[in-house]
């Protein structure tokens, strides 16, 4: 479990399958960090939309700090190449391109404005730091806002492992509310065990259940709180596979269904009708190699995420306030502008 919290910066550098080319910069730690961060995200050693975003930006910061750059052009060129590579590590969590684009958009503006190499490097380090700080602050704020929605005596169900959700539940616990948490185990990667272990470690009352038991337990659940990898312009929520089944069961029993997500999980491209790509992962996460080989005629599908339609979502808790899913488009326009206006 400890591995789940490993910062990309401190990761042991590993053999690399794909090499990252850094124009104008010597060999070294920057390339290793970008490549190892890419691998850590892809292999889910770093996982969860928020951590993925911070991990990528931390790697860009290491790039800024580590090199002897030949020129400003070389520095920015390497940063753009690194950012573009990192964005490819996992397809669904929009936090990743949003976080990297935040850094790269700033780099484009600063490059256009001119300036010394030293000033450029320093400025980009500060941009990375600004993202990292505001990301952590956003999660804390969501915890504070979301905790007010948890009532004494509630039974709260959550699925997968989300830092935004654990922030909500921890803040409610610290505010003295007494409630019970049910955590689904979240097959095939069992992220629910992380949630259960983290919350129990903080003194919360937690029960771990198989995913297949959700409908049985939903009868006693008052509130569901889940995280998000992406939120579409229509308020649909893309989160760990199984979330939409949890939402259906909650809808049936009239349990409230809340989503806790930082605003950098809003997907701006969905404003113009783009769909969020759902990651398909290896069959080896579903069955062991020997079984797959013995049953070669069996096709295996392993989608990592699913889409919960807005009709099944009551509220989306962000650091900018709490919104019904239908209100998300207003927040998106505010943050990203109106896409068809330029
Ligand atoms: C993790 C997952 C989480 C969201 C939100 O999926 O679906 O619910 O990423 O997490 P995976 P957070 O384990 O495949 O990355 O609130 O921590 O950003």
**Distance of alpha carbon 215 from alpha carbon 167, whole angstroms:** 25
Nearest residue to 224 (alpha-carbon basis) of 204, 193, 248, 250: 250
**Distance of alpha carbon 194 from alpha carbon 46, whole angstroms:** 13
Predicted structure pTM score: 0.91
Q: Does the CB atom of residue 169 touch ligand 1 within 6 A?
A: no
SS3 label, residue 70: coil
164 CA → ligand 1 middle, Å = 9
Annotate 300-311 with DSSP letters as a single string.
---BSEEEE-GG
Nearest residue to 233 (alpha-carbon basis) of 340, 141, 116: 340
* Nearest Cα residue to atom 7 of ligand 1: 240
List the beta strands (DSSP E) in the chain. Answer: 155-158, 180-184, 205-209, 223-226, 230-231, 237-240, 256-260, 305-308, 315-318, 321-323
User: 318 CB contacts (<8 Å, ≥6 apart)?
Assistant: 138, 142, 261, 262, 263, 331
Which atom of ligand 1 approaches the CA of 50 most closely?
18
Which atom of ligand 1 approaches the CA of 44 most closely?
15
Q: Which residues are catalytic?
A: 160, 229
Q: Which of 47, 48, 53, 282 to mutate to test the pocket of ligand 1 (most atoms within 8 A of CB)?
A: 48
Which atom of ligand 1 approaches the CA of 265 most closely?
18
Task: Answer whether 228's CB lies under 8 Å from 53's CB.
Answer: no
Q: Does the CB atom of residue 77 touch ligand 1 within 6 A?
A: no
pLDDT in single tens digits along all 342 residues of the chain: 233 322 333 333 333 334 444 444 444 678 889 999 999 999 999 999 999 999 999 999 999 998 779 999 999 999 999 999 999 999 999 999 999 999 999 999 999 999 999 999 999 999 999 999 999 999 999 999 999 999 999 999 999 999 999 999 999 999 999 999 999 999 999 999 999 999 999 999 999 999 999 999 999 999 999 999 999 999 999 999 999 999 999 999 999 999 999 999 999 999 998 999 999 999 999 999 999 999 999 999 999 999 999 999 999 999 999 999 999 999 999 998 877 655
Evaluated on CA atoms 328, 329, 334, 339, the torsion sign reads: positive
């Amino acid at each position: 479990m400890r591995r789940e919290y490993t910062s990309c910066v401190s990761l042991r550098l590993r053999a690399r399958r794909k090499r990252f080319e850094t124009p104008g910069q010597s060999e070294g730690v920057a390339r290793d960090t970008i490549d190892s961060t890419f691998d850590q995200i892809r292999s889910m050693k770093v996982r969860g939309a928020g951590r993925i975003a911070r991990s990528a930006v931390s790697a860009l910061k290491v790039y800024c700090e580590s090199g002897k750059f030949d020129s400003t052009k070389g520095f920015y060129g390497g940063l753009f190449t690194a950012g573009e590579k990192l964005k490819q590590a996992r397809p669904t969590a929009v936090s990743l391109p949003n976080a990297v684009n935040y850094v790269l958009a700033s780099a484009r503006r600063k490059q256009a404005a001119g300036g010394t190499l030293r000033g450029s490097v320093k400025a980009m380090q500060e941009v990375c730091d600004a993202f990292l700080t505001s990301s952590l602050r956003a999660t804390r704020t969501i915890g504070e806002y979301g905790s007010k929605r948890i009532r004494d005596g509630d039974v709260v169900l959550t699925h997968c492992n989300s830092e935004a959700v654990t922030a909500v539940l921890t803040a409610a616990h610290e505010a003295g509310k007494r409630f019970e948490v049910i955590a689904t185990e979240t097959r095939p990667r069992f992220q629910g065990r992380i949630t259960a272990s983290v919350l129990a470690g903080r003194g919360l009352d937690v029960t771990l259940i198989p995913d297949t038991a959700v409908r049985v337990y939903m009868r006693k659940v008052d509130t569901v709180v889940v995280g998000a990898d992406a939120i579409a312009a229509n308020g649909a929520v893309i989160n760990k596979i199984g979330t939409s089944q949890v939402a259906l069961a909650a809808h049936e029993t009239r349990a409230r269904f809340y989503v806790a997500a930082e605003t950098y999980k809003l997907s701006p491209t969905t404003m113009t009708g783009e769909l969020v790509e759902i990651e398909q992962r290896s069959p080896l996460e579903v069955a062991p190699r020997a079984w797959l080989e013995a049953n070669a005629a069996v096709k295996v599908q392993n989608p990592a995420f699913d889409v919960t339609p807005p009709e099944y979502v009551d509220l989306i808790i962000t650091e900018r306030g709490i919104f019904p899913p239908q209100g998300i488009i207003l927040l998106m326009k505010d943050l990203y502008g109106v896409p068809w206006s330029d």
